[in-house]
Amino acid sequence: MQRSISATDTASVTQGRERSTGDLAKAAVSGWLGTAMEFMDFQLYSLAAAIVFNDVFFPEINPALGLIAAMGTYGAGYVARLAGAVYFGRMGDRLGRKKVLFLTIALMGASTTLIGALPTYAQIGILAPMLLVVLRLVQGFGAGAEIAGATTMLAEYAPPRRRGVLASLVSLGTNTGTLAATGVWALLVAVLPDEQLVTWGWRLPFLMSFLLMVFAVWIRRHLKESPVFESRVDVDEDGVALDHSDLVALVELDADVEGTLDAAMRQRKGRAFFLALGLRFGQAGNSGLIQTFLVGYLTATLLLDASIATTALLYSSLVGFATVPIVGWIGDKVGRRPVYIALTAAAVVLAFPLLRLVSEGHTVALTLSMILLHNIAVLGLFSLESVTMAELFGARTRFTQLALAKEIGGIAATAIGPIIAAALTVATGSWWPIAAMIVAYSVITLISAALSPEVGGRDLVRLEDAA
């Protein structure tokens, strides 16, 4: 039976249902594995777009325009991610984290596998890139709430004083996925002649991802729901208390996609949402430029061997296995805000000198510069982002707002950034627009961090946002 409850009463709930160490381990593995799969899928795609998709799906235009077209298909997935964020995010806030995460990983895995089975432009003409875009949209729709859900789940499981280092496992998942995809592509470009790479070699990573999807789905079937979600008591517009079963019933009455999307987009966004959006902007934009566009620029424009850039990212991902948990641990000790400020300031200072070294094409200098820039401006920021954004939002709409902030930032920065960078580098014939964009993205996050409250260790059962 529903009961009247005040806002003060709901705020007094400060402890979620207890979970064992084994439950916490399962949540950590689930978050790590699902995020690894998401980023492996997207890195497989982004590297394929940078290295071969202009030949496989856009062979009748010049290489520079082919790169822009391939980056356009890469960016299309980020539009679908927004739809997935608002749909699955709202469902996750009302139905639960676990069930949504099961759906998102299945969608991602199926679409990624099917990309590897697509016919080429030479076989079916314009229909080939059209099908590629369709699968990219499906992939993006599933991925739109994956990392937000994994972050929410693990943050709500973790003890407050260890939340940063444990939530960094989600970020390590991104690094694991990036490493796996980059490693596969580095191997392919090293051992296969260009002709074999374009004709059949590019398909192998996509088809093999099916095995990872099966394992990830199995893990999530055995995961318990978030203790914060199960213990949460919310109130409706009339001040009537809604417990877990009430929220599930509401979802069953409000299950249509159009209604859910509309409700999520109309949901009130406060100061915390815009701060989170700014925190996301720098990491997302820098990721698209460094992990995606820069690989294509070095290969298609500077005519360097493709293995040079992919190997540099491979080494950088290995270094990231130390960077990510260390940043998470420091954030637990000194707070999220000062670490954010230090990393973004370093990215601003180092962007131009490091990009200049990269553009000169000397293998050792290029590799070291990419490692340093990637770990500071992408991996370090992402380690903080996962937990900070979860702590900024209240329990009532955490999943939805976190997913929306991530995906709107992704569209504004990651999806559009490589396309703008491609156009500017073609127009100027130089590397400096890449560095300028990294500085601009980092400054946005620097300002957002300076304006944000310190949220380290915040009680995640509280319904209200931190700002």
pLDDT tens digits, residue range 147-162? 888 888 888 888 888 8
Amino acid present at 225: E
Q: How many domains does the chain have?
A: 1
Cβ distance 395 to 228 under 8 Å?
yes
Cβ distance 68 to 427 under 8 Å?
no
Phi, psi (degrees; rounded to nearest 5) at 293: -65, -40
- Determine the 3-state secondary structure of 371 from DSSP: helix
Average pLDDT over residues 58-86: 67
Is 157 contained in some domain? yes
At 404-454, the pLDDT tens digits run 998 888 778 877 788 888 888 888 888 898 999 999 999 999 999 999 999
Question: Rounded distance, CA 97 to CA 149, Å?
Answer: 6
Is 467 contained in some domain? no
At 200-238, the pLDDT tens digits run 888 888 888 888 888 888 888 878 887 788 776 554 444
- What is the structure's pLDDT at 268? 53
Instruction: Output DSSP code: residue 13.
Output: -
Amino acid present at 326: I
Q: Give the distance from CA 260 to its chain's centroid.
A: 22
- What is the structure's pLDDT at 443? 96
Question: Rounded distance, CA 130 to CA 128, Å?
Answer: 5
Q: What is the DSSP annotation of 111-151?
A: HHHHHTT---HHHHTTHHHHHHHHHHHHHHHHHTTHHHHHH
Q: Which helix (H) or strand (E) holds 369?
A: helix 363-374
User: Which has the higher per-residue pLDDT, 452 or 197?
Assistant: 452
Other CB atoms within 10 Å distance of the CB of residue 49: 28
Residue located via tokens 């790590």 = 32
Confidence of residue 59 (pLDDT cuts 50, 70, 90): low
Domain span at residue 319 reads: 14-451
Is 357 contained in some domain? yes
Residue located via tokens 């580095």 = 186
pLDDT at 5 over 50: no
Is 461 contained in some domain? no
- What is the structure's pLDDT at 67? 58
pTM: 0.76
User: Which has the higher per-residue pLDDT, 407 or 276?
Assistant: 276
CATH code assigned at 260: 1.20.1250.20
- What is the structure's pLDDT at 362? 85
- What is the structure's pLDDT at 378? 93
Question: Rounded distance, CA 403 to CA 150, Å?
Answer: 10
Cβ distance 344 to 402 under 8 Å?
no
Confidence of residue 58 (pLDDT cuts 50, 70, 90): low
Average pLDDT over residues 73-94: 80
- What is the structure's pLDDT at 61? 60
Cβ distance 240 to 4 under 8 Å?
yes
Is 270 contained in some domain? yes
Please, how many CA atoms are within 13 Å of residue 244, restricted to the half-sphere of its CB? 12
Is 200 contained in some domain? yes
Phi, psi (degrees; rounded to nearest 5) at 38: -60, -50
Is 308 contained in some domain? yes
Is 83 contained in some domain? yes
- Determine the 3-state secondary structure of 458 from DSSP: coil
b/e burial code for range 18-41 (CB count within 10 A of at least 16 → b): ebeeeebebbbbbbbbbbbbbbbb
Confidence of residue 242 (pLDDT cuts 50, 70, 90): very low
Q: What is the DSSP annotation of 190-236?
A: HHS-HHHIIIIITHHHHHHHHHHHHHHHHHHHTPPPPHHHHH--EE-
Question: Rounded distance, CA 443 to CA 377, Å?
Answer: 11
Average pLDDT over residues 313-341: 92
393: Cβ contacts below 8 Å, ≥ 6 apart: 272, 273, 276, 401, 402, 465, 466
Structure tokens at 149: 């859900």
pLDDT at 134 over 90: no
